[in-house]
Amino acid sequence: MPANTYKFIYDDYGNTQAIEVKARGMATQINNYLNKGSAFSSRERRELKLEGLLPPGIRTLPQQLKNSMSVFEHKTSALEKFIYVRSLFDRNVTLAHALISSDIKRLMGIIYTPTVGLACQHYSSMFRRANGLHFYPGNIDQAEEILSRYGHRNIRVAVVTDNQGILGIGDQGAGGIAICLGKLMLYTQGGGIAPWHCLPISLDVGTDNQELIVDENYLGWRHERLKGDQYIDFVQRFAKAFKNVYPTAICQWEDFSKQNAFAIRDSYLHDLISFNDDIQGTGAINLAAIITAMKIKREPLSSQNFLIYGAGAGGIGIAEQLHTALMAAGLQDQAARNKIFTLDSHGLITSDRTLEPYKEKFAKDPEMLEWYSSAKDGKLLNVIKRAAIGVLVGTSGQSGVFNQEIVQALMANNNRPVIMPLSNPTSKAEAVPEDIYQWSAGQALTATGSPFPALKGSSGDIRVGQCNNVFVFPGLGLGTIASGAREVRPSFFTAAAQAVADMVEGQDLRRGILTPAVDDLRKVSLTVAKAVGRAAIKEGISAPCAYSHFQHHDDPNRLDTLIEKMRWQPQYLPLPPSV
């Protein structure tokens, strides 16, 4: 529906209170922000000229939700369920989000990992309706004009991908935008950022996936990926246009290749309100799990030695966040680095190797390690033993590499080691939590990247904590928006990690669980948002919120009120007709 046919009406907190409708009849039904389906009231049917276009019966939102869940349950495959939810979203945003929030733990696995990986692979063949924006060399010169068309939606956050590093399945070309769609649905679910304020964006710079190039159904730009100066120029054009059109909106970079992920994040740290969730969100949620483990062990973070097995964007992101947290705990820069060991496919990352730039920060000087004389000394087991590792993090994608010998070596260093096999999907996890539990006699503390069944403990089932970025980015986005911060600082992620860790308490702590339950996503996101907002105030970069008349003026209590009040919930809004 054209922008001039409806208008959002906001309260003092920047939350949508109503949508003024200029359109009438079927034009109202085909807009997924306005459409209520069978829930249009009698008055709305009269005023919006819907009489005769709907059966006479009127359902409430709960009745619609019950019916939609029944349809959802009858879908036999995860991909069919994904298609149904996305189709519902395209028809009726409010009902779709009500469905997701009714069982967020289960539905998150449909709208995001792991099912969204299949959606990326089948994007072109199951294409139904355009969502978001696709920039490619043929239209990048028009980027400002294209972005401006969405100005009426008051865009507050965009998730932007170049489609190259998707969920362990690599280059998916134009299909990568499905990741952006899923992530933005979680911004809404957790952070309460209304769906019309969210914008998914694909930077289609081509694909090196030959299966896509030869697929007659492929909808993306049929060209090998731009590289070098051409690639940089393309991203620069987009970033300039985005800043000009949406100077106060968050730009989240998503699923870029390892080197591009770091280079782009660092290039726009101060030019855009931007961050890379694969790097920084991953770092924050895993720091949260480690902080929780330290509470359980009653040991300071600075007393541990850490090993990151897998030096991609996520692995180095975790190392960066640990380094920031160790310095916040009182260690000097080099002392903090000395506690973090990183391994890639060639073994321990050392400064005498030729390295990608993003790996250099945590490379060890071989001459400073008395136990290291050659590459063979840099193997996983030897590093664990010689460096007295107490926290082992897996981001390698190598199934089963954390075997019984590895677990026992960790137990020899620390009677309660922290072992985190994070690789997705479950088939690529470095270890199965049940095995870690058995090999350590229940003493190891573990959290995973993928969901795993509960462990069978002597006093009942023990939930396996999941290091899911969803505990971080929705709240981080909301806190950044509400605080008016004009950049995303490393301290925001430290604050988010501490906030997530603080949400694990009581019986969960006593049972060794390291992260909150997914069911508590909305509550966790609220806590994270407040912590991030306060971090912005502490850093001195908080400013009046661009979307609200209720200003906090750097008062944390007023900021908390703003954060609570500006969150959208999936409830039908009034639709007053314009005159």
Read off the pLDDT of residues 127-141 as tens digits, 9 standing for 90 and up. 988 889 999 999 999
**Mean pLDDT value of segment 382-404:** 96
Residue 196 has pLDDT above 70, yes or no: yes
Residue 509 has pLDDT above 60, yes or no: yes
Task: Give how far Cα 539 sits from Cα of 144, 473, 483, 495, 559, Å.
Answer: 32, 19, 11, 12, 15
352 lies in the same domain as 492 = yes
Task: Give the C-alpha separation, 409 to 299, whole Å.
Answer: 20
In a domain, 29, yes or no: no
Contact 124, 218 (CB under 8 A): yes
88 lies in the same domain as 190 = yes
Per the structure block, which two tokens stand in for 148?
């401006």
Computed from CA positions of residues 434, 436, 439, 440, in that sequence, does the dihedral angle turn out positive or negative? negative
What is the total count of domains within the chain? 2
Domain closes at, from 194, 224, 256: 256
192 lies in the same domain as 311 = no
CATH number of the domain encompassing residue 416: 3.40.50.720
In a domain, 134, yes or no: yes
Percent of the chain that is helix, strand, coil (3-state, to 5): 50, 10, 40
| Element (DSSP H or E) covering residue 274 | strand 273-276
∠ at Cα 15 (9, 19), nearest 5°? 30
Per the structure block, which two tokens stand in for 283?
């770092």
475 lies in the same domain as 363 = yes
**Mean pLDDT value of segment 86-92:** 96
Task: Give the C-alpha separation, 463 to 469, whole Å.
Answer: 18
Residue 283 has pLDDT above 80, yes or no: yes
Print the domain residue range for 307: 280-547
Give strand ranges (E) for 83-218.
133-135, 157-161, 198-203
Q: Which of 356, 350, 282 is nearest to 320 (CA)?
A: 282
In a domain, 211, yes or no: yes
**3-state SS class at 405:** helix
Catalytic residue from among 6, 84, 150, 183:
183
202 lies in the same domain as 322 = no
Contact 476, 529 (CB under 8 A): yes
Q: Report the phi/psi class of residue 14: left, alpha or beta, with left for phi > 0 and alpha for psi in -120 to 50.
A: left
344 lies in the same domain as 462 = yes
Domain closes at, from 224, 256, 288: 256
In a domain, 530, yes or no: yes
Computed from CA positions of residues 535, 537, 540, 542, in that sequence, does the dihedral angle turn out positive or negative? positive
336 lies in the same domain as 399 = yes
215 lies in the same domain as 307 = no
In a domain, 243, yes or no: yes
HSE-up of residue 404 (Cα within 13 Å, Cβ side):
4
Per the structure block, which two tokens stand in for 124?
């072109």
- In this structure, the number of other CB atoms found within 10 A of the CB of residue 528 comes to 33
354 lies in the same domain as 475 = yes
**pLDDT band at residue 546 using 50, 70 and 90 as cut-offs:** very high
Per the structure block, which two tokens stand in for 349?
């990352």
- Lowest mean per-residue pLDDT among 89-98, 134-143, 418-427: 418-427
Give pLDDT tens digits for 421-475. Answer: 999 888 889 999 999 999 999 999 999 998 899 998 777 889 999 999 999 999 9
Catalytic residue from among 13, 112, 123, 572:
112
Give pLDDT tens digits for 296-316. Answer: 999 999 999 999 999 999 999
pLDDT given at position 113: 85
| Element (DSSP H or E) covering residue 230 | helix 228-245
**Mean pLDDT value of segment 543-569:** 95
pLDDT given at position 424: 84
70 lies in the same domain as 207 = yes
Contact 173, 226 (CB under 8 A): no
pLDDT given at position 130: 83
| Element (DSSP H or E) covering residue 263 | helix 258-267
Q: Which residues pair with 342 in a beta bridge?
A: 308
440: Cβ contacts below 8 Å, ≥ 6 apart: 407, 410, 411, 417, 419
Contact 58, 41 (CB under 8 A): yes
64 lies in the same domain as 193 = yes
197 lies in the same domain as 111 = yes
User: Could you give the angle at which helices 177-186 and 104-111 cross, rounded to 10 degrees?
Assistant: 160
**pLDDT band at residue 169 using 50, 70 and 90 as cut-offs:** confident
Contact 433, 446 (CB under 8 A): yes
Contact 174, 221 (CB under 8 A): yes
One-letter amino acid at 30 equals I
**3-state SS class at 267:** helix
Task: Give how far Cα 276 sits from Cα of 192, 256, 258, 502, Å.
Answer: 20, 9, 11, 24
Q: Report the phi/psi class of residue 400: left, alpha or beta, with left for phi > 0 and alpha for psi in -120 to 50.
A: left
Whether 361 is a known active-site residue: answer no
Question: What is the pLDDT of the chain when averaged over all its residues?
Answer: 95
Task: Give the C-alpha separation, 184 to 181, whole Å.
Answer: 5
Which of the given ranges, 33-42, 160-169, 423-432, has the highest pLDDT on average? 33-42
Whether 112 is a known active-site residue: answer yes
In a domain, 12, yes or no: no
pLDDT given at position 3: 64
Answer whether the bond into residue 357 is a cis peptide, omega within 30°.
no
In a domain, 462, yes or no: yes
- Enter the pTM of the model: 0.95
Q: Which of 124, 138, 111, 125 is nearest to 173 (CA)?
A: 124
CATH number of the domain encompassing residue 169: 3.40.50.10380
In a domain, 384, yes or no: yes
- In this structure, the number of other CB atoms found within 10 A of the CB of residue 154 comes to 18
pLDDT given at position 2: 57
- In this structure, the number of other CB atoms found within 10 A of the CB of residue 363 comes to 17
